[in-house]
Amino acid sequence: MCGIFALFDSNETEIDPSRVREATETLSHRGPDFSDAIVDEHVGLGHTRLSIVDLTAGANQPFTIDGGRFTLVYNGEIYNFAQLKSELEALGVRFRTHCDTEVLAYGLKHWGVDCLRKLNGIFAFAFWDRDAKTLTVARDRLGVKPLYLYSHGGQLVLASEIKAILHAVPELKREVQFQAFSEFLQFGVSLGGKTLFAGISQLPPASYAIWSRGDQSPVTGVYWYPEPGGYSGTVGDAIEETRERLEAAVRSQLTGDVPIGVFLSGGLDSSAITAFASRHYPGKLRTFSVAFDFADKSELELAKLVAERFDTEHHEVQVSGFGLEATVSALVECHDLPFGDSANIPLYLLCRQNLADIKVVLQGDGGDELFGGYRRYRTLTHEAFYRCIAQVLRIPGISGALPQRLSRYLQCFLPKNRGDRFARLLTTETSTERLSGVFSDGIGRRLLDQQPFERYKEIAGKYSSLDSVQAMLLTDLEIVLPDVFLEKVDRASMANGIEVRVPLLENDLVDFAVSLPSSFKVRSGVQKWLLRESLSGIVPSEILTARKSGFGVPYSAWLRGPLNEMARDHFAGMAEKGMLKQSAVDAMLARHQSGSERDAFFLWKLFQLAIWFDKYQVAM
């Protein structure tokens, strides 16, 4: 992977080359192998390269063709570039390199935005046409690769990470976007491309935008939509086809001119990737598993079992949580935002280890959203029952008499709007009023004016004709996957110059999985039923029957122990600035210190937020 930066001035104002070069250099961690930046008329383009395919200097970027008319900066991998190269050669194109960058450049020249529908890969890019005076930008179908935008006064700035935009536009007013803020307090992230920086957003997945000289706004479009349903085969057919498509997806992502490894957790998805990669990888496949001194449990034994089954060169990495303060602080800088999913910590620490000469790893993200891996899918198979039971909460006094966790869970099923119900299943918070009460009165009132569940209502509304499990799967595919998991994977890995590929999100496999009925995925109370059946006889039976697990990051215990003082200091800083009510935070901390878990996730989110406010000096 790489880092990209672009600055486009539709007013034809002269661009300072040093501005482009310095902003690009803030992304050097994403591409430590080579960096360059150019200014061509009224556009500046910069690129930092992590060399994966065609390691020669001829594949460096910014990449120009046709005597400098077209220039491309691109972050990602096009897995079907060899096929596209053959198509372009049939049109008369003569290539000078063996890289996918050149294929993408000529594809955009010959096919325009129609090229996007041909791409099977993960990408974000900016493509400058000097003669037409247009800058085309686009992002992959599911948002694996990031692309942030800031536009003001006829000037567009875009980059792989926010830090490059902030460096390029020092005059940018650092103010909070309150809708994004309200979403963060609920879910630990902002949704739908919003960021907590007012004016900075992400280009949506599967989207493109074309800026032209003299225009104040771009032409935009969407080149792909999930198309649920339509599968006409039997369950047996689906089992066989799942196996074949997954193997093909893994095989397609073993391309490159550098060694490739697998992050092997011992779970179903990474075990399947290891099984198929070991069949097709030229040479001995290297796998990496990790144990953390702060984790309650370890999957090393399951991972070792898989590694032995497929005869990989297996590495067990022991990672310490020593120096947590520095790690937590560094991750806020990696994201340039507060980020509530503490699972970014173990992934970041793993990628920071010495993985020999490995630059590329395969990881199992996407399997849960495509094949039904979360408990909520199983719950939603009985949604009518839960909605009926939830009505008891309307009886005065009942809600307070029930255990808090049960009461909160049943409350998820009370709203009439499906998107509202889905959103409540994804948040641990019980009310906006409780969250807003921690902040100063002015901030609290503004929070109460926001609609943090709006994105869920929007996406779930698109799938109103589908059953609840299918609608939840697709909603997760459009919200949780890009806004939480792919965001986490990109920042934690690219901060350390590691490219993570996600075979389960390969185009053909995604299209196939989306077409399947939900009853194939969650059956008889078994999550990922179809995927388990398709992998029977391929991965060890112990993997097929194991319960879903995770790293179990003990952030709650950390807030009572090694991070307690740091958190209190940051909360006090926010209170001194008039953002927080110190008494309300103290009450939460005291309750948490006594052993209550009620406020744990909210305090963790507030901690991330406080670090971010301190580092980035954002105004409320």
Catalytic annotation, residues:
2
Nearest in space to 120 (alpha carbons), one of 470, 505, 441 = 505
> Do the annotations mark residue 514 as ligand-binding?
no
CB count in 10 Å sphere of residue 581: 18
d(CA 67, CA 13): 24
Q: Which residue is it, tokens 């779930």?
A: 460
In angstroms, the CA 334 to CA 348 distance is 10
Per-position DSSP letters for 472-499, written without gaps between them? HHHHHHHTHIIIIIIHHHHHHHHTTT-E
On the CB side of 390, how many CA atoms lie within 13 Å of its CA?
A: 16
Under a CB-based contact definition with an 8 Å cutoff, are residues 403 and 411 in contact? no
Q: What is the DSSP letter of 561?
A: T
Please tell me whether 490 is known to bind a ligand.
Answer: no
- What is the token pair recorded at 294? 């702060």
Over its C-alpha atoms, the chain yields an Rg (Å, rounded) of 24
With H, G, I as helix, E, B as strand and everything else as coil, classify residue 49.
strand
Token pair for residue 367?
Answer: 């399997």
Contact 209, 127 (CB under 8 A): no
Give the number of other CB atoms < 10 A from CB of residue 175.
13
For 272, the enclosing helix (H) or strand (E) is: helix 268-280
| Buried-state track 1-12, b at ≥16 Cβ within 10 A, e below 16 | bbbbbbbbbbee
Handedness of CA 495, 499, 500, 502 (dihedral sign): positive
What whole-number distance in Å separates Cα of residue 300 and Cα of residue 576? 46
611 closest CA partner among 328, 347, 344: 328
Residues 6+ apart with CB under 8 A from 145: 1, 75, 76, 122, 123, 124, 139, 160, 490
Residues belonging to the binding site for L-glutamine are 100
- Please give the annotated binding residues for ATP, written as ranges: 290
